[in-house]
Structure 1
Amino acid sequence: MRTVGVEEELLLVDAESGRPRSVAARTLRYAAEIATPAESGGDSASVSSVEKRAETPQSDAADDVPGGSLEHELQQQQIETDTVPHTDMVALGEGVRAWRDHAITAARRAGARVIASGTSPLPVGSAIVGKPRYLQMVEHFGLTTTEQLTGACHVHVSVESDDEGVGVLDRIRGWLSVLLALSANSPFWQGEDTKYASFRSQALVRWPTAGPTEAFGTAEGYRSTVAAMIASGAILDEGMVYFDARLSHHYPTVEIRVADVCADAADTVLIAALCRGLVDTAAAEWRAGDEPSPVSVSMLRLMNWQAGRFGIEGDLIDPRTLKPRAAREIVAELVDHVRAALRENRDEALVDEQIELIFDRGNGAMRQRATLEKTGQLSDVVADLAAVTAGLEG
């Protein structure tokens, strides 16, 4: 059974006003004084038994162990959690919650709260972490870097080889927009309603490598594309390959990066289970010699835009017919596509129940807007996000 690990980008906000606070360094310092979460059921052996990928010299990530960390992100108003790999989704959910709790405890000592939101509901300024690479990014990319304060959920699913990984990447492209729609949790930007369910997905496309990709065909095709991007000078290093899904440049995993960070940890687990189902299904298709869908990058961009704009409240674009259909129908089609893998992984009931719950109560973007409609205050949206992030409300 494939292992799954999750990275979550979380915002640090003032405990009173709800505005983002530049206290990442203090939060991480306090976190170092607190016992590190001991995730039950972690299965790091299945990842570490395969030689991890070569680390790029510019990388800021710590690679001593596969997952299990709390780290800096680009801005001082943000931190990132990283679970160890798990085969069991219940254990993965416990790991996600444990690392959130760890971050919340440390942030509280720094006078802040933690929210899982794709963007800050309230206005925020730039506070770049003073690492040389980040400062180089500011110089090279300008406003794209200084305005970059978004929260994503990155799901790592183990693969046996780069060849299998690229076979997977080529065959999951059409379904990634559905994950974005389910996870959409960023309707506000600089204090304004953007009309998007996921404005994070719009902010990201300013980066030159962000978004969907063509089919690579082989691992060599993938590596050649990445090498050409770096050689062009338009990006700094491999860590800036921001594809919706990519080969991890640290571990033998496919890293699916399209989702917003979810306020409710149960939604995070749903996205993780669907990602593993997609990887299992695509790997089986690759082994059988089934050709990937020929859908163009132009259409994939349209599919992402539609998902980011409407989430699950409107139509999505069917990855097979390229025609609009109700979001609920497309989500059901995704689940049917991966159902055999879900059943094999014992994730079927979890996925079915959580999808019903999302369509019953809405995704993160719908909850944020409902809170604003009820109270009229974006600070209340932030307070509600903090409660849900902490598992105090569902």
Structure 2
Amino acid sequence: MGGKQHCLTVGVEEEFLLTDPVTGAPAPKNAEVAASAKRAGIDLQLELTRCQVETSSRVHSVIGELLDELRTTRRRVADCAAGHDAGLLAVAVPPTVPEQFPVTETPRYQRIAHTFGMIAHEQGLCGCHVHVGVPDRETAVLVGNYVRPWLPVLLATTANSAIYRGSETGYASWRSILWRRWPSAGPPPYLPALADYEAIVAMMRASGAILDNKMVYWDIRPSESFPTVEVRVSDVPATAEESALLAALIRGIVTMGLRSIAAGEPPAMVSGEMLRAAYWNAARFGLDGNGLDLVACRVVPHHDLLTQLIRSVEPALAESEDLEFVTRAVAALSGRGNGARRQVAALRARGDIGDVVAELAGATLEGCG
């Protein structure tokens, strides 16, 4: 795994669920775990519910170095959680869950809970956000149009939320279905310019659909905190290697998109209706089912769409020296399955939700030493 210094920079944020180590039930201990992590030199973000924490990687040019950090951080945060009698799970919805989650006691999160009611209290949803460095916010909006058609494939690849409340949901990514209840979440619109993005955001704020710009939950957005385009479509992947794979693919798409912008080549025009249909297929069937080729308008297995994606960004992957890693990681993923397949297999083996929790706990620290 290489990554030359002139390649675009990339960073990853992973959200994790804190659980009771015996029952697998969500454990409202994020403040305690974050305090321990702080003493260990790790800054954890508190998420909407007290059962979640979020890690943020440093900025990287080399995917191999990013993977090393993701693995180290997962292990260290898991150790901090264990110190408070909690497990750390890379899972996008809790396999076993109470009716409501306690909301983190910060003024902003309490205001969100008051405004949005049960949507906030039924959260516990964990995603993965990939940031790729771009020159400015205008560029972030424009390059997002080139990423947009690939979002369903990225979702299918990382799907990791098949079990909820102790039962199969029938979906590979139930998080994606639940997440879209928020008025500002899901597939982004096609945006001709930054001014169009800002106009829609201003309208959502004026209407009360969002309380601030950080509540723009579209799956692509210009980051409010960093000079990056932020891609937010993914479930938190089961393993650190899958998160690094996701980052490599997204950096490849953004790299090729920037080249298309420079060459005056327009992005594929995909309607919102077709994109939502492709999202549903990705959420329902995951990597092992069929998806939609949004350019050719045909039904294609998601594995074939992933191969198509890799071919389309191969020049960028070769230049960043990520092609070998991506090829190997996809082959491993196809063999063992993503988080969704692993969850379902664990539950069907004996019908014991404890087996699902154990499988997820193992995957969370797979390769982490």
Per the normalisation by structure 1, the TM-score is 0.89
Equivalent position of 2:3 in the other structure: none
**Paired residue secondary structure (2:313):** helix
Alignment of structure 1 residues 27-176 onto 2, 5 Å? 27-36=33-42, 69-124=43-98, 125-176=100-151
Structure-2 separation of matches of 1:284 and 1:224: 27
Structure-2 separation of matches of 1:256 and 1:206: 19
**Paired residue secondary structure (2:288):** coil
One-letter amino acid of the counterpart of residue 71, structure 1: Q
Equivalent position of 1:21 in the other structure: 27
Structure-2 separation of matches of 1:139 and 1:91: 41
Structure-2 separation of matches of 1:108 and 1:94: 21
* Range 221-230 or range 343-352, more displaced: 221-230
Structure-1 separation of matches of 2:366 and 2:333: 16
- Any idea what the Cα deviations from partners look like across 1:356-378, whole Å, max 9, x if unmatched? 11111111100111111223211
**Paired residue secondary structure (1:324):** strand
Equivalent position of 1:186 in the other structure: 161
Per the normalisation by structure 2, the TM-score is 0.95
One-letter amino acid of the counterpart of residue 351, structure 1: V
Following superposition, the deviation at residue 315 of structure 1 comes to: 0.6
164 and 185 in structure 1: CA distance in 2 versus 1, 3 angstrom threshold: same
Which ranges in structure 1 are unaligned for 5 or more consecutive residues? 37-68
Following superposition, the deviation at residue 14 of structure 1 comes to: 0.8
Alignment of structure 1 residues 191-210 onto 2, 5 Å? 191-210=166-185
- Any idea what the Cα deviations from partners look like across 1:131-159, whole Å, max 9, x if unmatched? 11111111111111100111101000000
- Any idea what the Cα deviations from partners look like across 1:7-65, whole Å, max 9, x if unmatched? 000000111111111111111122222244xxxxxxxxxxxxxxxxxxxxxxxxxxxxx
Structure-1 separation of matches of 2:17 and 2:280: 24
Structure-1 separation of matches of 2:31 and 2:161: 25
One-letter amino acid of the counterpart of residue 10, structure 1: F
The count of aligned residue pairs is 362
336 and 392 in structure 1: CA distance in 2 versus 1, 3 angstrom threshold: closer
The answer as to whether partners of 1:387 and 1:393 remain within 8 angstroms in 2 is no
One-letter amino acid of the counterpart of residue 255, structure 1: E
The answer as to whether partners of 1:122 and 1:379 remain within 8 angstroms in 2 is no
The answer as to whether partners of 1:18 and 1:122 remain within 8 angstroms in 2 is yes
Following superposition, the deviation at residue 228 of structure 1 comes to: 2.0
Equivalent position of 1:4 in the other structure: 10
- 1:351 correspondence with 2:326: yes
Following superposition, the deviation at residue 120 of structure 1 comes to: 0.7
The answer as to whether partners of 1:75 and 1:126 remain within 8 angstroms in 2 is yes
The answer as to whether partners of 1:4 and 1:156 remain within 8 angstroms in 2 is yes
Percent of aligned pairs with the same amino acid: 39
The answer as to whether partners of 2:15 and 2:126 remain within 8 angstroms in 1 is yes
One-letter amino acid of the counterpart of residue 45, structure 2: E
One-letter amino acid of the counterpart of residue 70, structure 1: L
**Paired residue secondary structure (1:236):** coil
One-letter amino acid of the counterpart of residue 325, structure 2: L
Alignment of structure 1 residues 228-377 onto 2, 5 Å? 228-377=203-352
The answer as to whether partners of 2:71 and 2:368 remain within 8 angstroms in 1 is no
2 and 153 in structure 1: CA distance in 2 versus 1, 3 angstrom threshold: same
* Dislocated runs of 4+, deviation >4 Å: none
- Any idea what the Cα deviations from partners look like across 1:140-195, whole Å, max 9, x if unmatched? 11111100111101000000122221221111111011000000000012222110
Which ranges in structure 2 are unaligned for 5 or more consecutive residues? 1-6
Structure-2 separation of matches of 1:342 and 1:18: 39
**Paired residue secondary structure (1:254):** strand
